[in-house]
Structure 1
Amino acid sequence: MGRDKKFALVTGCGKGGIGEALVLEYTRRGVHAIATVLPNEDSDHLTAAGITWFPLDVRDEKSVIHLKEEVLAVTNGYLDCLVNNAGICYTMTAIDTDVNAVKRMFEVNVFGPMQMVHHFHDTLIRAAGTIVNIGSIGGVVPYMYGASYNASKAALHHYSNTLRLEMSPFNVKVITVISGEVGTNILKNDVNRKLPEGSYYTPLATEFKDHVTRTPKTTSRFVYASNVVSQSLRSSPVPWLWTGSATAIIRFLDMFAWRTIWDFFFYREFNLDKVKKAHLANAKKDD
C-alpha cells in the first residue's frame, strides 16, 4: 500500500540557521518536515511557519529516544529523510585547545548523528529513505584555527562514508554534504573567544580577533537548502554533495593537487610568518 506523504526529520533548526532553511524547503516541496531545537531554544520561528517541531539534545540518548516516540506518532513508523544538521563550532589553535570544550563539540557533531542513526535506522529502512550528514570543507582542508572542528567533521565524513556502504543492502541512501561557507549564525558563540595568555600565537592576537568576528563571503542558506533537499529526495542521490561558497575550487585541488598545497595558501593567508619571526626572536633572547 503506497503512502501519500513523505516525512523529513531535521536536527538543529534554530532561528537563522541551515536547519530552519532546510525544513522550510522540505515544506515548500510538499514534504512533512519535522524540526528539532534545543530544549531551551526559541521555537517561535517554526511555529509561525507551521512546522512540526520537538525539543532535542542530540547528546542525550534519553532525549533522542523520547523524540523517536514523538516522531513515530506523526509518521506512523516511516521516515524518508533524516538530516543530521545539528552542530557547533570551536575556534582555537590546536595547541591552545580546551579539550573539554572539544569533547562537547564531538558529542554534538559526531556522536549526535551516530545516536540519531542508531535509534531511527528502522524507520529509514522501512521507508527506503535517505540519511543526510552535514559535513564541511573543514573536514577536508587544514583551515587555520579549526583543528578541532575540522577533526569533528572529518570524523563525520568517514562515519558517513562507511554508513553509506552498510545501509546499501536495505536501499537506504546516505549523502555526505561537504558544505562551504553558508550564511548562518554558527559563529555567534565564538565572537568573544581570545587566544590564551602566553600563547605561542600571541603575535596574531589581533588577526585572531578579526577572524572570529569576520563576516565571510557566503552562499545563501536558502540556496544551500534547495541543493541539499533536491538531492535528498532523488531516488539515486550523489554520495558526496559539495555545495556552498568555495567548494568548487577546494574539490578540484583536493582531487588533483598534492596533499600539502593548503599549507602554502593558509600560511600566507593567516600570516604565519609573523609567528615564525616572533618565535625566532624569542629564541635568540633565550640564548
Structure 2
Amino acid sequence: MEQEIILDNKKQRMAAVTGAGSGLGRDIALGLAARNYRVFGTALTPDEIEDLKRASSGAVTLTICDITDAIGVKNWAREVATHTQGSLNLLINNAGILTPGPLEILPLDAVRREFEVNVFGALSVMNAFLPALRRARGRIVQISSFTASLPLPFNGASGASKAATEVFAAVYRAELKHLGVDVVVVPAGIMRTGGPAKTDAAVERIADGMTPEQRELYGRTFAIFAKGLNAMQKGGLDSASAARRVIEIAEQVPAPSRAPVGEDAEEILRFVREKSDAEQDALRLKLVGLS
C-alpha cells in the first residue's frame, strides 16, 4: 500500500536518499515526501524512477547512479544543486549491499565490492553533498547495521564494511561540528525489505560455487546460517515502519550521535556494551542457529 503524499504549509526542505529505488530507501523517500520534503535519490533502473515518480506524485526525483562511480556521484550532486539552490537539509546514506559467505571462500574481489559500495560509495556521496549541507546547516544520516557491533559468522564482509562506515561517520561528526552539519549513525536491526531475495540469491551462488573440499569444510554450517538468516529476516521489522523510525531520527532535535532502528538492534547494542567477548561469541552463533 502506497503512502499518501500530503504537503503541509511549512517551507519545503530538500533531501537526498541513496538507494531510493527499492526497499527501505523507497519507503524513506516516500515518507520524506509526505512530510513536505523535495526528495532526490539514486536508482538502478528506469522502472524504479517511474515507480517513485508515480507513487510520490512527482515529489521524488530519482537518477540512475552507481555510488561507486565517483564522477557519476558528483554529476548527481550537481544535478540536485540545480533544483535546490545549492542547499540540502538532509542526506540519508542508505545504499548498501550484503555479500555472505565463509571468509576463506569469498573471493577478495567480492569483499572489495562490498567496501566499494558500503564504504567508499558512502564517502563519495557525503563529500559530494557537503557544500550543500554546509549551506543549509543540514544533517547526514548514515544507515548502518547492528552487525557493525556484533558481526555474524558468514557475514564478515558486511559487518566489517558497516563498522568502517561508522568510524568514518564519527570522524565526520567531529570534523563538521563547527560547520553546523550533524552526522547520525542509524544501526538497523533485521528488516523485511527487498533484501532477503537478493541475500538468498547470493547465498545460493556461494553454496553452488563451493568445491567438494570447501563443501566438506563449510557446507553444513553455511546451510544452517542461511536457514537462520532467512528466519530472522522473515521476522524482522517491516520496511515502512523502519522508514518512519529513520525519519523520526533524521528530524530529532538535538541530533543523536547514534540511534538504532528496531527492538532487536537496541537489545543487541545494549548486549555488546554490557557483555564479555565470550558472551558475544555465544550470541553471534546462537543468532544464526550455530550454537
Q: TM-score range by the shorter chain?
A: 0.7 to 0.9
Q: Matched residues in 2 for 1:101 and 1:242: separation?
A: 28
Structure-2 residue corresponding to 1:145: 154
Asked if 1:125 corresponds to 2:131, the answer is no
Long gaps (5+) in structure 2: 1-9
Conservation of the 8 A alpha-carbon contact between 2:154 and 2:222: no
Asked if 1:226 corresponds to 2:244, the answer is yes
Q: Matched residues in 1 for 2:189 and 2:144: separation?
A: 9
Q: Matched residues in 2 for 1:206 and 1:114: separation?
A: 34
Quote how far apart the aligned CAs of 1:271 are: 5.5
Q: Call closer, same or farther: CA 1:267–1:68 in 2, change over 3 Å.
A: closer
Instruction: Please identify the structure whose Cα radius of gyration is greater.
Output: 1
Asked if 1:18 corresponds to 2:27, the answer is no
Q: Matched residues in 2 for 1:37 and 1:261: separation?
A: 40
Quote how far apart the aligned CAs of 1:187 are: 3.0
Q: Call closer, same or farther: CA 1:270–1:190 in 2, change over 3 Å.
A: closer
Matching of residues 220-259 of structure 1 within 5 Å:
220-259=238-277
Asked if 1:168 corresponds to 2:177, the answer is yes
Conservation of the 8 A alpha-carbon contact between 2:224 and 2:290: no
Structure-2 residue corresponding to 1:201: 218
Which one of 53, 57, 76 corresponds to residue 62 of structure 2? 53
Aligned positions, number = 270
Q: Matched residues in 2 for 1:206 and 1:39: separation?
A: 32
Deviation readout 1:70-105 (Å, 9 max, x if unpaired)? 101110100000111110100101222211011111
Using structure 2 for the length normalisation, give the TM-score: 0.86
Asked if 1:186 corresponds to 2:204, the answer is no
Q: CA RMSD in A?
A: 1.9
Long gaps (5+) in structure 1: 274-287
Quote how far apart the aligned CAs of 1:120 are: 1.1
Q: Matched residues in 2 for 1:206 and 1:186: separation?
A: 18
Quote how far apart the aligned CAs of 1:209 are: 4.6
SS at match of 1:168: helix
Q: Matched residues in 2 for 1:223 and 1:271: separation?
A: 27
SS at match of 1:19: helix
Quote how far apart the aligned CAs of 1:13 are: 1.3
Structure-2 residue corresponding to 1:72: 81
Once the two structures are overlaid, the 10-residue window that deviates more, 18-27 or 248-257, is 248-257
Once the two structures are overlaid, the 10-residue window that deviates more, 186-195 or 81-90, is 186-195
Looking at secondary structure, tell me which structure has more helix per residue. Answer: 2
User: Match for 1:139: what amino acid?
Assistant: A
Q: Matched residues in 1 for 2:136 and 2:264: separation?
A: 34
Using structure 1 for the length normalisation, give the TM-score: 0.88
Conservation of the 8 A alpha-carbon contact between 1:182 and 1:224: yes
Quote how far apart the aligned CAs of 1:56 are: 1.1
Q: Matched residues in 1 for 2:252 and 2:287: separation?
A: 39
